Amino acid sequence: MINAKSIIITVVSLGIVIGMFFGVRYFIYLQNYKNIIKNINIKKIDLSKVSNGTYLGSFDALEVGADVKVTVNNHKITDIKIIHHKNVRGKKAEVIPERVIEAQSLQVDTVSGATNSSKVILKAIDRALEN
């Protein structure tokens, strides 16, 4: 006959194993997220080579993602709309499009406290303009 102590030990052991499994899985997920962010490379865009039009771009870095619509007229960025911004605490990075329009460049400062979201939005704009 199985006693209560054996059942409790089995249940606790199973809980520990399951917890470790999900903990390791989450750790790997976070490492992948950090690597994606670390490897974001924002290119210098030559606007003289970008035709008039509206361009869509997106970038997903697991925890943070952005879809943007960029309008170019006479080789100038005239409008950038964030269609979707998946973020954790990066809402304040949504000023990045204004900075890009003002600078007419993707080489703008990121927003402190929302660096990852800033980089993701910039990469989405980069992808829109490289098309």
DSSP letters for 26-37: HHHHHHHHHHHH
121, containing H or E segment: helix 115-130
Report whether 67 contacts 99 (CB < 8 A). Answer: no
Residue from 126, 128, 127, 119 nearest 34 by CA: 119
Q: Is the pTM of this model over 0.75?
A: yes
Mean of pLDDT values over 61-66: 94
Q: Mapping DSSP to helix (H, G, I), strand (E, B) and coil, where does residue 50 land?
A: coil
- Does residue 131 register a pLDDT over 60? yes
Q: Mapping DSSP to helix (H, G, I), strand (E, B) and coil, where does residue 60 land?
A: strand
pLDDT category of residue 88 using cuts at 50, 70 and 90: confident
Could you give the CA distance from residue 91 to residue 76 in angstroms, rounded to a whole number? 26
Mean of pLDDT values over 41-57: 94
Mean of pLDDT values over 80-99: 93
Give the gyration radius of the chain's Cα atoms. Answer: 22
Residue 61's beta-bridge partner residues? 64
Sign, Cα dihedral of 120, 126, 127, 129: positive
pLDDT category of residue 124 using cuts at 50, 70 and 90: very high
- Does residue 1 register a pLDDT over 60? no
Percentage of residues of the chain with pLDDT beyond 90: 83
pLDDT of the residue at 96? 97
